[in-house]
Structure 1
Amino acid sequence: MENKPYSILLYYCYAKIADPAAYREEHHLFCLENNLRGRIIISSEGLNGTVSGLKEDCEKYMEYVKSDPRFADTDFKVEAHHDHAFAKLHVRDKEEIVHSSMRHINPREKTGVHLSPKDFKQLKDQEDVVVLDVRSNYEHSVGKFKNAITLDIDNFRDFPDKVHELEHLKNKKVITYCTGGIKCEKASAYLLEQGFENVYQLHGGIIKYGMEEGGEDFEGKCYVFDNRLAVEVNKVNPTIISKCYICEKPSDRMVNCASSKCNLHVAICEDCGWEMEGCCSDACKSDPEKRPYDGTGYYQKKSNGYNPYKGFSRKTTAKQVKQLHHG
């Protein structure tokens, strides 16, 4: 069995943070001191992150997060990997931990019933159950649960605008799902607010279902927000549901168009990827400023002179923060 020395962590936690800016600096510093990379969002409503690092460094990180009483019940999804899944570290202070148009909803006060992967597997095919994908088009285009309902949305913030299309399902048990569970916390609460009575959510999302139940009946791959782009979930009855955007042959290779002016997220087979130089169209291929294609279709944003301490407040230098941190 291949030894994979790194871990990739996917997690979120809705919890009140009184001073997000101050906690962001503390959190950022811990990640720097433990060689972690990834994208972490901190707001007054909690934490949301995807982090990569050596297994032992990720263990320290999980202990650090859960040792704070505010985040003690954080559920980490841990996947083994052969290297970092990110090139850099970004810890940002934002208004929400997932961008939505439902800021009034507090999942600590109201949300759908959490279903374990095992319970979800038992319920999903029952006659009075509807499985609802709350992710965006480019995510469910490459993979989704068998017979799941998908919504035509480009961003999660558009979810409330589509709920009227589900009115005929109010007498059903509705189970929402997403990648790791975070979007379902607000999506399921919003459904309850709109008069749906039996609302559930897959706890831990697609990733946890794949880890604990083998991913049965998840068709295609799961889109993820790191340099892997899409990962295998189903070890029981895997299939491919997406087609190459260029030649329409079955393909689940997710690619970001090499033209940064376009940046379309689509499936492109390996042959077309090289032929089109990572672009989705001839127009994009002729873009003189298109990014060089290396066969992956993943492009790290340019950051000349990348400084991992970037983001610390101007009032407090990184050196001062370290001095404060170490007493």
Structure 2
Amino acid sequence: MNHVLNISSYLFVPLPDAPALRDTLHARAVALDLKGTILLAEEGINLFLAGPAESVRAFVAALRQDERFASLEPKESWSDTQPFRKMLVKVKREIIRMDHPAIRPAGGRAPAVDPATLRRWLTDGHDDEGRPVVTLDTRNAFEVDHGTFHNAIDWRIDKFTEFPPALRARKDELAGKTVVSFCTGGIRCEKAAILMREEGLEHVYQLEGGILKYFELTDGAHYQGGCFVFDERRVLDPDLSAHPERDAIEK
């Protein structure tokens, strides 16, 4: 029986007090017997936690008492064992490294498309204005190999810092199309969508909540394989169940 609640969430919000916040959040998580990783930076928070449901939800409720985190909306899945070995809270330069300091999502988001709308667009083959829709996978190549959207654009990057130069080298292939960037939980595709708009692409969206939210809110149509996650579950199916030994999809 799956009794361990797993959550992932992020929020771009200015955190000038990240070092002090690290100690507070670590102590709170340990007191609730939670394990996982929380990343803090001046640009925001990125967290992956697992534990008893009441403890996880108590942690989130306490976090939301800070008005900066009031809009935090974790994505949930379940497992029968604890997928993390320890509780880590780290302060980093970026919560997801892109090495492009002009990207400040807290200053304004790129437009997002919800999972149900993306599913409909992919079924129809175009967006609501008749433009062809392409999905752009912003994850690392080894993650993509475990699963991705059918016919997704995959630039075979090995780390997210390679995304900006890859975009500049190949953005012409995206012109005139509606581009939906996606990733595991939303953080990379949010930065990617903002960069694409900075680079002059007009019809760009991020997939709200990433692949995990798509799995949660749809039947997983148009997605092939599973979603790689950075814990001991390794790969999640569209029903959010774990299959550690899943083979990579055929390319």
Question: CA–CA distance in 2 between the matches of 1:132 and 1:62?
Answer: 31
Question: What is the alpha-carbon distance in structure 2 between the residues aligned to residue 218 and residue 207 of structure 1?
Answer: 11
Structure 2 runs not aligned, ≥5 long: none
Residue 136 of structure 2 corresponds to residue 136 of structure 1: no
AA partner of residue 154 (structure 1) = D
State the AA in 2 paired with 1:141. D
User: 2:32 corresponds to which residue?
Assistant: 34
What RMSD in Å do the two structures reach over aligned CA positions? 1.6
The 2-side partners of 1:138 and 1:121 are apart by 24
Q: Is the contact between residue 36 and residue 89 of structure 1 (CA under 8 Å) also seen in structure 2?
A: yes
State how many pairs are aligned: 238
SS in 2 for 1:4: coil
- The aligned runs of 1:259-270 (5 Å cut-off) are none
Separation in 2 of the partners of 1:112 and 1:172?
16
* Alignment match, 2:227: 222
| Poorly superposed stretches of 4+, deviation over 4 Å | none
Q: Which residue of 2 aligns with 1:322?
A: none
Partners of 2:66 and 2:247 lie apart in 1 by: 39
Residues 48-85 of structure 1, C-alpha deviations (whole Å, 9 max, x = no match): 01110011101101111222100111120011211211
Do the aligned partners of 2:5 and 2:52 also contact (CA within 8 Å) in 1? yes
Which of 228, 248, 252 is 2:246 aligned to? 252
- Write out aligned runs for 1:1-327 (5 A): 3-124=1-122, 125-126=125-126, 128-163=132-167, 164-233=169-238, 252-253=246-247
Normalised to the residue count of structure 1, the TM-score between the two structures is 0.70
What is the deviation of 1:119?
A: 1.1
Deviation, structure 1 residue 108: 2.4
Q: Is the 8 A contact 1:8 1:51 kept in 2?
A: yes
Amino acid at match of 1:178: C
CA contact (8 A) 2:138 2:183 kept: yes
| Gaps in structure 1 of 5+ consecutive residues | 236-250, 255-266, 268-327
Percentage of identical aligned residues: 31
Query: Would the aligned equivalents of 2:32 and 2:55 in 1 still touch at CA under 8 Å?
Result: yes
TM-superposed CA distance for 1:112, in Å, is 2.2
Structure 1 CA distance for aligned equivalents of residues 239 and 222 of structure 2? 7
> In structure 2, how many angstroms separate the alpha carbons of the residues matched to 1:133 and 1:95?
24
Larger proportion of strand: 2
SS of residue matched to 2:46: strand
User: Please, what TM-score do these two structures have when normalized by structure 2?
Assistant: 0.90
Contact 2:43–2:106 (CA under 8 A) maintained in structure 1: no
Amino acid at match of 2:40: I
Contact 2:14 2:106 (C-alpha < 8 Å) held by counterparts: no
CA–CA separation in structure 1 for the residues paired with 2:101 and 2:29: 28
**Aligned-partner Cα distance in 2 for 1:5–1:130:** 37
Q: Which has the higher contact order (CA 8 A, sep 6+)?
A: 2
